[in-house]
Structure 1
Amino acid sequence: MKGYDTEVWVNEDDYPVKMVLGMKSGEGTVDITAHYSDYGAQAKVEAPPAKDTVDLFEMLQGLEEGFSDIGADAGADADV
């Protein structure tokens, strides 16, 4: 990816109310649109129970370790 395009709409208080992000790469295009509102409002946030969560970094490390084994037997079960 060499760059990306961003469009931002702001309200009369100069707060962003909409943002459109477009990223193009050799693998395809990603378009993301976000809408923002309720500035200054109290947010009610409650953490989920631990049983419903994962540690992202542990998960990614596990994936990385799994991928390191792929090269060793990549063709072992392949139909050639």
Structure 2
Amino acid sequence: MKTISTAEARTRFETVLDESQRAPVVIRDQDCDVAVVLSIADYERLRGGAVQAFLDLRNEVAREAGAAGLTQERLGDLLDDE
């Protein structure tokens, strides 16, 4: 992954956009990574992965809760107790 300064990103923005289609470009300001420019395809893949990971976790928790005998009614009772 290529890393460039904020100054370079400003002066070469069109080139940075072009390079980001091949690989993400990290933008650095005073020894600190502040942003990443990546292709829309990479962004959508990351975003979709996060959503899918959440859905997988939700389903796993639901399976474990069901296996432990936790019903919607019991969950409601537990939440009402607080």
**After TM superposition, is the score higher than 0.5?**
no
Higher relative contact order (CA 8 A, sep 6+): 2
- Which protein has the bigger strand share? 1
- Which protein has the bigger helix share? 2
TM-score (norm 1): 0.30
